[in-house]
Chain A
């Protein structure tokens, strides 16, 4: 039996025409989302602090940057628990790479289109969002009423504060520590980790012996700015004139990454980098993962990086897990002591949110109940000292030194979005210097000129 459907050409054309007409009509129909920008509700609940949970049904759009599977797992559990305790609240979490989320957020926060109620972003982006018409709202009163301002260390607020107003809440931080190999220290007869830049160079040179397969320091150039910035700040140089107090970057001021102190720092870095596996050229183009592997081999004395790489969390540093012949040091110390660089995430609530109270209630829950679980699960540090901390999480071994650093021994990673331009320009400049193509001064002059284009 022939069951095939026979359709004439005319019928086919009619059908196609009908589908096309329907498509055109539906395309012309008004969009279900209002195309008119929602007036920025600057006055909505920005001054009236409320910690009470909403009564009616509420859906919160929650955007956050991708932080890896451990982070997502803990966050999903936390959301389920919150929804369990608040049956009227539904939270739609959307996890996106930082770059994608930034592009979308800028568009939404400028135009007022449908966007997040609350959002987790990197610290360099928070104040930029606050300055946009539909970006982060002023949370000063809510933060004060909750007592968060006094609980979280003052330095952690610099990336969310402008004109005495607070626009976001810091939420876990990555910390940069000097990792040092205890076996190599013992073999070289050195009893304590370095405290100053001079100590670090002396120890690196003392341990360095290529014939015995022992190396001092790897200044991997793909992230060399981490190291350089620490040195500059220690010597009173920021990215711009007047930025050495970390509080505000005035991008209209001259760039200072080619000042004499910065040149001296780069010359110093070269001396350190000569003790790397493969000598000076051994530092070029080495990626973060390669540097992890090099340190995990056990023949490299020092490694300056943030703890997510060395947290012994499976998936971040599988090769590092069986090794624990190393320890962490807050570096550098000394008369111009600056301690360790840190970089928090920030949670903000958008001015366009129609559920600001509910969003704040959830934000408060994240800071007080979730941060202490999520931080140690990904090798970062919870910043709210009274929040509930899960000491059983795999990265909880970082908590003591992290807490110690938070007591006045931290300084923030540059929180201007253009930092990526500085990093890109610095990488090429340092490589050219290490390859002998340019002097330190020429390399940094070029980097300064290139970075300036992004401002």
Chain B
């Protein structure tokens, strides 16, 4: 009996640190598994971002890489706000976000609602709808540039055949009135499938009995959409809209390929302004200041969005 009791106590004594170790490993394992990814993120994002912010306070000419960096404090930020082209780029970027995000969202919502209905060959429509999103943006932008080419593009040719002779050499992308609206239209075309697929997933997660109940209660189509679909879609919509806003501020490719911000800066966004300052004009400090302002602005919007809107959703 005594020997048995002592064996138990030894086992208990031995199992206590073992338990602690097991608990510790259980607690630490998730962190260990996350460590490589988090390290990479810190290295590639955080360190690069901090370095980018640092660059916004120094003078660095790309063509004189061997020269020392001179600390200039807030000079680049003052320069930016006194540059009319920068102010124009800010206006264009805000307009871009105000048009492209709601435009893509509404277009995407419309497509999602159509695809949510019972139609034949639904898979085919879904595939076709996704095509603009699946095509690489550079390829799509080059294709659209060709479509709008003055004189030899299909649009000018089509208008010419309709008898609108004045339009034969309409330089769409070289026109300060049309350049930005056209590129915004292309971007709406491009982003709508993303919104559509995400919203479709949200729509399909809404239980159908809710619609049945609403119908029994006498709700018509508009009522069902307004009081059932929209509120239940809100969590998904909130996330995709935030993502859309962030993406819209960082858009570069379509404008760069189609207009490079021209003519005479009339389609210049902040990202194009950043690129022009940092690369062709070699003013890396000024370009970094634009980048830092963009990140700061988007961080504020993102935080506000998450705190206000999502909290509201959680309490609803």
Contact = CB atoms under 8 A, between A and B. Distances in A.
**Genuine A/B complex:** yes
A285 B63 contact: no
A285 B32 contact: no
Given A13-B25, A285-B179, A453-B286, 12 more contacts: A9-B25, A20-B32, A106-B66, A281-B175, A282-B169, A283-B174, A284-B171, A290-B152, A421-B282, A428-B264, A450-B281, A453-B283
Interface in A281-327: 281-287, 290, 293-294, 297
A454 B149 CA distance: 32
A279 B174 CA distance: 12
Q: Which of B176, B259, B264 has the most CB of A within 10 A?
A: B264
B163 interface: no
Contact of B280 (A9, A285, A421): A421
Interface stretch (A151-159, A341-349, A378-386, A429-437): A429-437
B150 interface: yes
A420 B283 CA distance: 12
A38 to B, nearest CB: 17
Contacts of A16: 32
B265 interface: yes
Closest 7 CB pairs of A and B: A284-B174, A278-B169, A285-B174, A424-B280, A284-B263, A432-B264, A431-B264
A277 interface: yes
B1 interface: no
A172 B85 CA distance: 40
Contact of A453 (B32, B279, B281): B281
Interface string A1-38: 00000000110010010001000000000000000000
A312 B149 CA distance: 22
Given A282-B174, A290-B150, A222 B65 contact: no
Contact of B151 (A222, A277, A437): A277
Interface string A337-380: 00000000000000000000000000000000000000000000
Interface in B260-279: 260, 262-265, 276, 279
A336 to B, nearest CB: 30
Contacts of B276: 424
A20 B176 CA distance: 57
A258 B61 CA distance: 23
Interface in B174-193: 174-176, 179
A221 B282 contact: no
B281 to A, nearest CB: 5
Interface string B150-170: 111000000000000000011
B151 A284 contact: no
Contacts of A132: 66
B220 interface: no
Q: Which of B25, B61, B150 has the most CB of A within 10 A?
A: B150
Nearest to A452: B281
Contact of A285 (B61, B65, B259, B282): B259
A277 B150 contact: yes
Contacts of A283: 171, 174
B241 to A, nearest CB: 32
Interface string A410-453: 00000001101101110110011011010000000000001101
A427 B150 contact: no
Given A13-B25, A285-B173, A453-B282, A278 B150 contact: yes
Interface of B: 25, 29, 32, 61-63, 65-66, 145, 149-152, 169-171, 173-176, 179, 259-260, 262-265, 276, 279-283, 286
A110 B64 CA distance: 11
Contacts of A286: 150, 171, 174
Contacts of B280: 420-421, 423-424, 454
15 contacts: A13-B25, A99-B279, A106-B65, A132-B66, A278-B174, A282-B151, A284-B175, A285-B263, A293-B152, A294-B150, A417-B63, A421-B281, A427-B262, A431-B264, A450-B281
Contacts of A424: 276, 280-281
B262 A428 contact: yes
A455 B63 CA distance: 8
Q: Which of B61, B66, B170 has the most CB of A within 10 A?
A: B66
A287 to B, nearest CB: 8
Nearest to A438: B264
A294 B171 CA distance: 12
Nearest to A432: B264
Nearest to B277: A453
A454 B171 contact: no
Contact of A297 (B151, B174, B265): B151
A107 interface: yes
Contacts of A297: 151-152
B264 A110 contact: no
Contacts of A287: 145
A440 to B, nearest CB: 14
B66 A13 contact: no
A418 B169 CA distance: 34
A322 to B, nearest CB: 15
B159 to A, nearest CB: 13
A204 to B, nearest CB: 16
A279 B152 CA distance: 15
A281 B174 contact: yes
Contacts of B259: 285
Contact of A294 (B145, B151, B265, B283): B151
Contacts of B63: 128, 417-418, 454
Contacts of A282: 150-151, 169, 171, 174
Q: Which of A278, A425, A451 has the most CB of B within 10 A?
A: A278
Given A281-B171, A282-B171, A435 B176 contact: yes
B264 A437 contact: yes
Contacts of A420: 279-280
A20 B173 CA distance: 54
Contact of B263 (A13, A277, A431, A450): A431
Contacts of A451: 281
A431 B25 contact: no
Contacts of A432: 264-265
A73 B145 CA distance: 30
A285 B281 contact: no
A425 B176 CA distance: 17
Contacts of A290: 149-150, 152
A278 B171 contact: yes
A434 B264 CA distance: 9
A425 B29 contact: no
Contacts of B65: 106-107, 110
Contacts of A222: 260, 262
Q: Which of B265, B281, B282 has the most CB of A within 10 A?
A: B281
A132 B283 CA distance: 21
Contacts of B175: 281, 284
Contacts of A279: 169
Contacts of A277: 150-151, 169
